[in-house]
Structure formats: C-alpha cells, structure tokens
Structure 1
Amino acid sequence: MPVYNIASRQPLPYATRKKTADAITNIHCDLTGAPAEFVNVVFMHGHPIQGGKALGVLCNVRKGGNRNNELTEELRLKVHQGVAQATGIDESDMLTSVLGFPASWAMEGGEILPEPGQEDEWLNRT
C-alpha cells in the first residue's frame, strides 16, 4: 500500500491531480509489479516546503522483497520526472523523497500486506 503524499504551496486543479495520480500509479506498478489497487495518492496544499520549493513528493513504500536500492532510486527519479511532467512544475522546483517501511506495517482490508514481489500470491489466496 504505497502512499504518495503530494504537498504544494498552491492547490492543483482536478485535471492536474488526476494526471499526476495516474502517472504515479503507472510508474509505481511498472517498476515494482505491485497492483494498481495498492497505490494511494494524497494531495495537500498550503504547506511550506523545504527550500521554498513549489511542490514536494513523499513516497511511502514497502521495502524488502524484490526492492533493492537501485529500484528505489529509479522509483524516486521516475516519480520526480513524472510528477514534473504531469503538473508542469519544473523539476528544480520540486523535492521527492522515498521512505521504505516493512510490509508488516501496512494493511489492506484488515489484512497485513505481503512482502514486495509476493502480491499475486497474496491477491489470489483463498
């Protein structure tokens, strides 16, 4: 259950939020293999962002399993680029960070999520 928190100084229009959420979902699923229904994107505005940037992205994702440092960095870079493209905000005016947490810290439908890479097995359980 990744949670992507998007904080901006100014509110983003609905169409921009939709485009951004779609971009993040596609990037996350393409890179990690996680199902789209696991991805959550939350938008907030009116928050000061470090260094006076226009937008900040905090990616909270499960770590371990098939997720190594290289994949995590690729996720950070692609999300940063995808959000910049979707919002029209210059990449230099954004901050993007990834925080990894153990799968056992997250639940969907009252059940603890599987380790990264074990989603299909978990979704198809009886």
Structure 2
Amino acid sequence: MPVYQVVTSGVELTEEQRDALATRFTDTHHEVTGAPDPFVRIVFQPLPLGLMYTAGRVEPSLILSAGCRGGRSEQTRHELMTKLYEVIQDVVGLPADQVVVVVSDTPSSWIIEAGMVLPEPTHDAEALWMKKLDEMFPGKYQQYV
C-alpha cells in the first residue's frame, strides 16, 4: 500500500514516461510519507479517447488516483498531491485542466499486505510490522527493519 492508478484517455504515455512516472511516484511517496518503497504499487490504465468525459465532453485527460493508508496529516496529503502533480507535469506536460490528482485514505485496519493487516503510520508500529515481515520473508525486507 499505496496503490496509484494512472488512468489516461487521449494521452498516449510512452514506456519511458510510464517508467519515469512509476519511479518518481515511488520516490515521492517515500520522501513525503516515509513508507518503504517495496509497497508502492503503480497501475497504468489507458482508455481509448471517447471513454472518458469532462463536463459531458470527450477531452484528453490524466487522472491519478492514490489509495493510501490513513492517519497522516492534511499537510502531508497536500504536499504529496502537489509533488505528484509536479511529477506529472514534468514527465507528461499536460495542460493543468487535463490533470486530476486524488489521494484517498483507507484505515490501516482495512488493508492487508503480505498477509498481514497494515500498522498505523507510526514509527513503532511500522518497525514491529517490518520485523514480522522480515521473519516471514528472510532477507527480502531486512534493509527496512
């Protein structure tokens, strides 16, 4: 967790742009929230032009919808949204009115990853969770313990 869904219509992303967005979204999420990189998922969902509408009209668009673990401040959410928007503009360069960024929170207790319910976003809870994860997958997540 988090899961980033990039839905585009009339915006053809190249492989290089997808790679850049995925890398930079991961880096941004880690930088802003402190969440470990291995849990940042990015999904690209291209739609043919004509399957996404704005105000009843077909227009090229990019929507970034991020489902994140809840419990962080409004300031953190705004910083994350702003930096994600800046990444999109730097990599894709769309007109501002063709880009939407949404960050939605889900309570930690509603999410399972690696077979365990996610901890609250506090240092102690995350450290204990990562220790258990390292025990389940020896060595794979050791750098995060």
Q: Which amino acid aligns with 1:60?
A: G
Task: State the Cα distance separating 1:119 from its structure 2 match.
Answer: 2.5
Q: 1:85 to 1:109 in 2, by over 3 A?
A: same
Q: Which residue of structure 1 aligns with residue 69 of structure 2?
A: 62
Larger Rg: 2
Q: Which amino acid aligns with 2:130?
A: L
The separation in 2 between residues aligned to 1:108 and 1:44, in whole angstroms, is 22
Q: 1:53 to 1:104 in 2, by over 3 A?
A: farther
Answering whether residue 128 of structure 2 is matched by residue 121 of structure 1, we say yes
Answering whether residue 30 of structure 2 is matched by residue 23 of structure 1, we say no
* Contact 1:80/1:91 (8 A) holds in 2: no
Q: 1:49 to 1:108 in 2, by over 3 A?
A: farther
Q: Which amino acid aligns with 1:119?
A: E
One of 110, 115, 125 as aligned partner of 1:110: 115
Q: Which amino acid aligns with 1:19?
A: A
The separation in 2 between residues aligned to 1:23 and 1:88, in whole angstroms, is 15
Answering whether residue 52 of structure 2 is matched by residue 48 of structure 1, we say yes
Task: State the Cα distance separating 1:54 from its structure 2 match.
Answer: 1.8
TM-score (norm 2): 0.78
User: What secondary structure sits across from 1:83 in the alignment?
Assistant: helix
Where in structure 1 are there 5+ consecutive unaligned residues?
none
Q: Which has the higher contact order (CA 8 A, sep 6+)?
A: 1
Where in structure 2 are there 5+ consecutive unaligned residues?
136-145
- The number of equivalent residue pairs is 124
Q: Percent identity?
A: 30
Q: Which residue of structure 2 aligns with residue 75 of structure 1?
A: 80
Q: Which amino acid aligns with 2:62?
A: L
